[in-house]
Structures are given as structure tokens and as C-alpha cells.
Amino acid sequence: MIASINVVIPRTKDAALATLAENAGKCTLLAGGTDLMVALEDGRFTSKLVVDLSRLTELRFVRRESDELVIGALATYTDLLRSPHVAQMAPELVLCAREVGAAAIQNRGTLAGSVANASPAGDPLPVLLARDAGIEVASVRGTRTILATQFFVGYRRTALAPDEMITAIRIPAPKVGERFYWRKVGTRRAQSIAKMVLALRATATNGTLQAIAIGVGCAGPTPLRTPKTEALVAGQRLDKMLIDEARRSLAAEVAPIDDLRSTAVYRRRVAGNVLATFLASLT
């Protein structure tokens, strides 16, 4: 079976895009392999053509471009952990990268790979949602940037066209006074799949919550934002009553399921509690 899979190894982005255009919908992209190889071993992988992107060194970068943190599609989690730009502009992404698998997975796994894989439990995806990140995608037809909030369209489905691939992730620079938070509740402390992931971005001054963005994982078929709860608390005074309301609202707004790792009831409770504790820390 493995013997029947062909691999194309483009050396440039343009060559990769040309291959993609030729084989749109019939090939699977390979970067670090940490998801694809598991699927292959499981017999869940059915594609007959793999496009190995690992030689596209031009896409392996992490840099600051004026008011954006730009993470190339081939940047690994280890690259994120070592980048001063990430530490400065997305400290919650550092916390997140440290908890993706363990060292060997961080050395191979890429942020863009997690985005393309679009698992509702994908560790970094709530960060990208809460940060209003852009997903830069390219095809022979050109380049466009899709907002993370519009990228995850269904269970493991994305807004990528069949001939497109992710080239970079763009995260807006922090605004003055913005606070960031990330929390994964997993099955254990390393090498774990999330039960619940919460990423938060908030601005609070003098006891009032000016703005908040909430990204949640394991809370539905896709990683999601929670607009109702955000609207409920934004602009409000951060007192105990509001915090309790926020807790209840988020617990009600998420739509998790029971699975092997946890229960829907637990996930609702934890999402609400983690948000409440974060809000309390802002007062």
C-alpha cells in the first residue's frame, strides 16, 4: 500500500504551486509529517500522491514585518520557541508551542500544518482566532489572506481551495495594553491531546474590560470564537457579578462533545472557569 504512493518533492514554492494546480484535489501536502504519518500507519490515508514541501526553505522563517508577526508555512514549533519575535509579539504562542507533543514533535510539526489539519483540538488554533490572525494562502492564481475566523469552515474542513496551500500565518502586533492568555487542559502534562483549549486577548483599564477576544478549542466541530460572550462582557465593569456571568455565558456558548478524552459537561465547566479566573486576574 505504502509502495503505491507517489511523492513529488518540489524545490521552490512556484514548483509546488504548479504541482498543486496540476493535481488539485488529488494530492496531499506533507510538511513535518506528524499528522500524516499517523494517518498512514492507521490505514486512514487514501491519497495516492504526496507533495513533500519540506525542501521549500524559502517558507521556513519567522520574522517581523512592520505591524505583523509573520510565520512561514515550514516554521516548526521549535522555530517558534527559539524566535525572539514570537516571544515578543505572541507570548501565548510560546506557551502553546511548548505543550505541543514533546521535543521530537515540536522539531517536526509546523504551525501551518496544524492550521491545514484543522482539528477542533488543534492546540494553537484558538490563539490564531483570538489574535485575528490571517492565513496567507497561494496558488498559481495568486496570493490571498483569509482571516483565521473565516478559515475553519467545518469538521476538519478549511476555506482552502483545492489548488491552494498555506504560505504563512500573519499575526497582528499587540496593541498597547493588550493581555494574552493561553491554557490547554490535556490528558497529561506533555505528549497530550487537549480536552479543552482557551486563548484570550483582552484590554482592561481601571477595572473596565475594554475589549476581549475568546478562542476555544474542543468546543465544537471547529475551533471557534464566542461572539455572544465577548459581546456580553466587552465594555463592562469587571466585578464579581460580571465574571460569574461570563463564566456561565461561555459554558453555555461552547458546544463540546463527549469523547474518549473527556465529557461535554466537563469541557463547558472548564471553559467557563478558566475564563473567569483570567478575568479576575485583570481586576
Please give the residue ranges that form the binding site for other proteins (CB under 8 A): 1-3, 5-7, 9, 30, 32-34, 37-38, 40-42, 50, 52, 54, 78, 98, 101-105, 107-108, 185, 187-193, 195, 260-263, 265-266, 269-270, 273-274, 276-277
Q: How far is the CB of 78 from other proteins (least distance, A)?
A: 8
Provide the 3-class DSSP secondary structure of residue 12. Answer: coil
Give the nearer residue to other proteins in terms of CB position, either 191 or 210.
191
Which helix (H) or strand (E) segment is 42 a member of?
A: helix 36-42
Least distance in angstroms from the C-beta of 87 to other proteins: 17
In angstroms, the CA 191 to CA 105 distance is: 9
The owner of cell 469552515 is: 153
Nearer to other proteins, 276 or 282 (CB): 276
Closest CB to other proteins among residues 134, 186: 186
The 10 Å CB-count burial string (b at 16+, else e) for 144-170 is eebebbebbeeeeebbbeebbbbbbbb
How far apart are CB 104 and other proteins at their closest, in Å? 5
- Grid coordinates of 111: 504551525
Whole-angstrom distance, CA of residue 260 vs CA of residue 241:
35
Q: How far is the CB of 184 from other proteins (least distance, A)?
A: 10
Which residue number, 44 or 205, has a Cβ lying nearer to other proteins?
Answer: 44
Closer by beta carbon to other proteins, 50 or else 86: 50
DSSP secondary structure letter of residue 173: P
Which class for 241: exposed (0-12), middle (13-18), buried (19 or more C-beta within 10 A)?
exposed
What residues are paired with 194 via a beta bridge?
186
Angle between helices 240-253 and 264-282 (to 10 degrees): 150
Query: In the bound complex, what is the minimum distance in angstroms from residue 145's beta carbon to other proteins?
Result: 28
Q: For residues 195 and 201, which CB has a smaller minimum distance to other proteins in the complex?
A: 195
| The dihedral formed by the CA atoms of 72, 75, 77 and 78, expressed in degrees to the nearest 10 | -130
Q: How far is the CB of 189 from other proteins (least distance, A)?
A: 4
| Nearer Cβ to other proteins (97/133) | 97
- Shortest distance (Å) from residue 74 CB to other proteins: 12
